Amino acid sequence: MLAGIKERWRSVRAELFPKLVLLDLSDAMVLTGQAFKPGGADSPVWTAPVPARTVRSGVPIAADALGDFIGDLLLEHSTPDASLAVALPQAASQWRLIEWPAGTIPEDPVEALREMNPDLQLPFRLDEAYIDIQDVPASPSRSVLVAAPRGTVEAWINLFAIAGGSLRHLLPAQAARMAGLREAIEASPPGGMVALLQPLASRHQLEVWVDGAPEFERSLPLESQALVPALTQSITYCQERFSPSSTRLLLAQPFEGSDAVAQALEFPIEPVDLGGFGSLVLKGLADVELTR
């Protein structure tokens, strides 16, 4: 009888005080997690290396093994009835900048884009993809498209059915990162350029927004000695190509040797305020949750 009462109370408590766990899989080699409640991060950050040969090009290829692995981590760090907000691996989705021919965003941009079916140089067909379209506040004639193949998304949904928990949101890494950086992007002056350096397990990723729109991305070396000239070359190229009114270089999170890199650069680099979250992607997942 007591066991039954405890089980019912656990179910009621889950409904009254839902536990949300944020999971960052954007770096396919590392899983980062953190509990969250309205008002901020709710627990320490935890990380775990993703088991080898379980993910390929952003797609889970060993769903049972990876699902059980994530399920064990959830049991260790949260509760079995937790809701999950998950950012997919970077390679699982693609993003593109859309210029609308009529100069204004259609009432139903997803349907309009499917009807137009433009050649966006995507490695999959639009009619076989899940699509998210976001406005570019500084330009009413442009939008940001983030798309992922249906098969890839459904593979991750099936994996989390194995892992347990209740899947609440499944976002492309690009969309989650952009949400986490939205304040910095919107605070940029008209024509301003915001560059983000993101340390990953095997490389650095550089993403550049100009006037609120993503315009450039490039993988950069992991080693600090090689990173400095590659980063300098990329920023200089973007400044010459886009002629921004201002340039701001942000660091998503510190890495080994980041202080030496900052000293070697010819321009300042600012750390992103993560607000207590373990990564910019986790912050973005939380921001998305708060706005829904």
What does the pLDDT look like over 204-248, one tens digit per residue?
999 999 999 999 999 999 999 999 999 999 999 999 999 999 999
What does the pLDDT look like over 100-147, one tens digit per residue?
988 889 999 999 999 999 999 999 999 999 999 998 988 889 999 999
CATH number among 3.40.50.620, 3.40.50.300, 2.40.37.10, 3.30.420.40, domain 2-90+151-177: 3.30.420.40
Q: Three-class SS of residue 32?
A: strand
What's residue 137's pLDDT?
83
Q: Long-range contact list for 178-183, CB < 8 A, 24+ apart? A: 178/134, 178/144, 178/214, 178/284, 179/284, 179/285, 179/287, 179/288, 180/272, 180/274, 180/277, 180/280, 180/281, 180/282, 180/283, 180/284, 180/285, 180/287, 181/209, 181/250, 181/272, 181/280, 181/284, 182/287
Residue 193 has pLDDT above 60, yes or no: yes
Domain ranges of the chain: 2-90+151-177, 94-147, 187-271
What's residue 209's pLDDT?
96
**Mean pLDDT, the chain, integer:** 90
Q: What percent of the chain has pLDDT over 90?
A: 79
Give one word for 39, left, alpha or beta, with left for phi > 0 and alpha for psi -120 to 50: left
> Is there a shared CATH topology between the 2-90+151-177 domain and the 187-271 domain?
yes
* Locus of tokens 């901020």: 40
What's residue 138's pLDDT?
84
Mean pLDDT of the region 261-273: 93
Q: What percent of the chain has pLDDT over 70?
A: 91
The pTM (predicted TM-score) of the whole model is 0.90
pLDDT band at 10 (very low <50, low <70, confident <90, very high): very low
pLDDT band at 2 (very low <50, low <70, confident <90, very high): very low
- Strand pairing class (166-171; 83-87): parallel
pLDDT band at 174 (very low <50, low <70, confident <90, very high): very high
Given CATH 3.30.420.40, say whether it is the number of domain 187-271: yes
What does the pLDDT look like over 31-87, one tens digit per residue?
999 998 776 666 789 999 999 999 999 999 999 999 999 999 999 987 667 899 999
